[in-house]
Chains A and B, each alone.
Chain A
Amino acid sequence: MGRFLDLTLAGLTSGAVYAAVALALVLIWRSTRIVNFAQGGMMMITTFLGYTVVSHGGSYWLALAVAVVAGLVLGALVERVLIRPVAKRPPLDAVVVTFGLLVGLQGVAGMVFGGTPQSYPPAFGIAGFQVGGHQVLFSPNDLWIVLVVLTVMAVLAVVFRRTSVGLRMRASAFAPEVARLLGVRVGRMLTVGWALAAVVGAVAGVLIAPSTFVSPTAFDAVLVFGFTAAVIGGLDSPPGAVVGGLALGLVLSFVSGYLGPDIVTLGALVVLIVVLMVRPHGLFGAGTRRRV
């Protein structure tokens, strides 16, 4: 029972991070109908920048701030330079471009930072809390991770539902032509959407870095998990991303605990295939109805 509880807590913590990555993917999908396969690479670069700050004696908080600002700039830049030209082309083009950006970033990171995984300091202690004399697998740092992810989600929800920028962004995503007629700068809104998503990714990268280490390919699995979470929830649905992330975190934690940590990525593949076979547009996704 203790083990089950431990695996559940660990699953919820990692699930929160997958949910954040999934949320970043969903933000981009909703605004541009593109799955950003470079998300993992962009996270990796911003986390490496944070790592540079930390390894030069900067504090955790300064590193987090640097990663967030870098994410903001990188996201906007990627949308302006790479995504805009392929936005109206066949979906294959966007997939290839974001995939190309992923490896390009991995190559550049390998050149600058080398291939050896670097350890990233956690914000708080990683020794589990004591509950009734039993040490559970849930540490102050895990609590920090969960709280940050919840805060990010709450802030995004407020931005989208209660602010005029949020309204304009939703309009640009769902009815770009109408929005344009009503005076919304649609292109600018898309850039803001990508920048926001990259910021969410940057935060997720810093949160997960202490447990995965930082290396050019360290986030490949995180990207796959985030994508899986987004697809489970339905690429269209932010609440779906959260539910999908937590569900996937739990499943993978049990797979790792009971079957072995070697096949966690395979576990994600199985979950993905099963969900897609049952619901090709995810649990919360609306999907476009095709009529013949």
Chain B
Amino acid sequence: MTETQAPQGETRRPPLWLRSTLLRHGFWAVLGLAGFWLLSIALDPFANLQLAQIAYTAIAVAGLTVLSGLSGQISLGHGAFVAVGAYTSALLLENAGWSLAPVLIVATAGTAVVGALVGVAAARLRGPYLAGATLALAVGLPSLADYHGLRDLLGGANGLIVSPPVPPLSLGESFPLERWQSWICGICLVVVLFLLANLSRSRLGRDMRLVREDEDAAALSGVPVARTQILAFCVSAGCAGLAGGLFAIVNNLAAPGAFTLALSLSLLTAAVLGGLGSLAGAVYGAVIVTLLPTWSTDLAQQANLPRAVYANIPLVLYGLVLILVILAFPGGIQSGVRRIGRLLRRNRKI
């Protein structure tokens, strides 16, 4: 539309892969897959398991970042959605004997439906009301597993055991299970990031930003505010559900103890730390909150700290990070990265 006004002569047109959003995102997706593959074959089994954990955490955080960063809604209860995905996958894999791919798809879709239900309620709620309702969701939903009417189906406090996915024979007899698990999670992560990046550039993504900035203006310009907010909840819950499914097959378990308030909290910490609204930030955030407990435990053991101290270091750090990032660096890591990127570009021109 604005083609005629754009300065034509002096500025060179960027290459095609930069001009087309789809191609650019596709390029990054292929690069991401290759990078993930290289990492996974370079790392030992334990590190591969951590890589898998980072990947599924990043999926859930990316979903949360769409919800909070794009559409401006907050959820303190994403752990509950992860639980829904994990239990759905566990039931379908173990009881119904489905194969992995359809299980993950159904876990995603099923959790998205649950998210839509929550979203219908959420679309009527603002700020603190929504935060409180989702907090109640995070504390309340996992207790369902221990309800006496469902204890037989959901396994009560012990949860459900999930048998690990078997690597396909075409990869060789001795292909390590951990690497296969990390591949599944890595592929899912890249696909999710690719889809979310496109979503964020799409009309729906623009509508979400508009709703976040000013609901009244959005409604005036014909954006269906409630529907946009519900869709955001739906997408973000679907991501959390997929993360839950992957959680189940990586940890071979779906149990209420895994989906505590602390999980919801670590997801929020990752999103805030990485930079709300940035998909790359979601990945940095996921890396840090996944590795932080391991690092702090290692350090504490070297320093001979008592167990009660080092078991709580991650919690204290999550709390500090949430407070400090909001007070001092509201843009998170990603805004720092962007600033460096801008500086580099400016220097190059000179």
Q: Hey, which bits of chain A sit against chain B, CB under 8 A?
A: 29, 34-35, 37, 82, 85-86, 89, 91-93, 95-97, 99-108, 110-111, 114-115, 216-217, 220-221, 223-224, 227-228, 231, 235, 260, 262-269, 272-273, 276-277, 280, 290, 292
Contacts and interface: CB of A to CB of B under 8 A. Distances in A.
B140 A268 contact: yes
B125 A265 contact: no
A103 B133 contact: no
Nearest to B305: A111
Name the residue among A82, A110, A115, A268 with the largest chain B CB count within 10 angstroms: A110
Interface string B131-159: 11101110111011011110000000000
Contacts of A108: 312, 316
A231 B131 CA distance: 12
A100 B326 contact: yes
Interface of B: 68, 72, 74, 76, 121, 124-129, 131-133, 135-137, 139-141, 143-144, 146-149, 215-216, 219-220, 261-262, 265, 268-269, 272, 276, 308-309, 311-323, 326-327, 330
Name the residue among B121, B139, B318, B330 with the largest chain A CB count within 10 angstroms: B139
Given A95-B128, A97-B326, A272 B319 contact: no
A92 B323 contact: no
Contact of A273 (B121, B309, B327): B121
B115 to A, nearest CB: 14
A96 B322 contact: yes
A105 B129 CA distance: 23
Contacts, number: 166
Nearest to A230: B132
A268 B136 contact: yes
A96 B269 CA distance: 9
Name the residue among B128, B313, B323 with the largest chain A CB count within 10 angstroms: B128
Given A92-B74, A227-B132, A272-B133, A100 B139 contact: no
Contact of A266 (B74, B144, B216): B144
A25 B263 CA distance: 24
Nearest to B144: A266
A114 B76 CA distance: 25
Contacts of B129: 231, 235, 276, 280
B128 A86 contact: no
Contacts of A221: 139
Contact of A263 (B143, B220, B318, B321): B143
Contact of B135 (A107, A115, A224, A235): A224
Contact of B76 (A99, A263, A277, A280): A99
Nearest to A287: B126
Given A227-B132, A260-B147, A262-B143, A99 B312 contact: no
Contacts of A276: 121, 124-125, 129, 133
Contacts of A92: 68, 72, 74, 127, 276
Q: Could you tell me the dominant secondary structure of chain A's interface residues?
A: helix
A100 B322 contact: yes
B121 A277 contact: yes
A110 B308 contact: yes
A104 B323 contact: yes
A100 B141 contact: no
Contacts of B322: 96-97, 99-100, 103-104
A110 to B, nearest CB: 4
B103 to A, nearest CB: 26
Nearest to B216: A292
Contacts of B320: 100, 104
Contacts of B147: 260, 262-263, 266
Given A103-B262, A110-B312, A260-B148, A29 B319 contact: no
Contacts of B143: 262-266
B315 A106 contact: yes
Nearest to B135: A224
Name the residue among B126, B269, B319, B330 with the largest chain A CB count within 10 angstroms: B319
Contacts of A290: 215-216
A29 B308 CA distance: 34
B329 to A, nearest CB: 12
A263 B151 CA distance: 12
Contacts of A34: 128
A54 B327 CA distance: 37
Contacts of B261: 217, 220
